[in-house]
Amino acid sequence: MSTRKSKIVSWIVVAVFSLVIFCSSAFIIVHAEHECGGEDCSICMELAKLHKTLHELGTAVAGTIILALMTCIIAVPCKMTASSRPAHTTLISLKVELLD
């Protein structure tokens, strides 16, 4: 997948997650103090589903942030170690003059 397509897909995923979080929060705020109709109240069932969805998304975001931080913590020392050593040490790269 090309870099451009990758970025577009990433932005679409971010937009969908943001929309889900915003709509879920808005529904919860609007219907927080509704008049419950009993055990089979459809609004109460939807509120429970939305609370569960928001909790799962929050857990996923936290896990993603932790994974990204761990990757950075591991990648930075590896990059520094790799860049501190010369890639190739040859007589030509050392500019050694070979005379007979």
- Per residue in 49-65, pLDDT (tens digit) is 888 887 887 777 777 77
Q: Is residue 56 part of a domain?
A: yes
Q: Is residue 18 part of a domain?
A: yes
Checking if the pLDDT of 10 tops 80, the result is yes
User: Total structural domains in the chain?
Assistant: 1
Q: Is residue 92 part of a domain?
A: no
Q: Is residue 51 part of a domain?
A: yes
Q: Is residue 100 part of a domain?
A: no
d(CA 3, CA 6): 5
Q: Specify the pLDDT at position 65.
A: 77
Q: Specify the pLDDT at position 85.
A: 63
Q: Is residue 48 part of a domain?
A: yes
Pick the closest to residue 54 from 14, 21, 91, 18 (CA basis): 21
Q: Is residue 28 part of a domain?
A: yes
Q: Specify the pLDDT at position 88.
A: 67
The residue segments making up the domain with residue 67 are 3-84
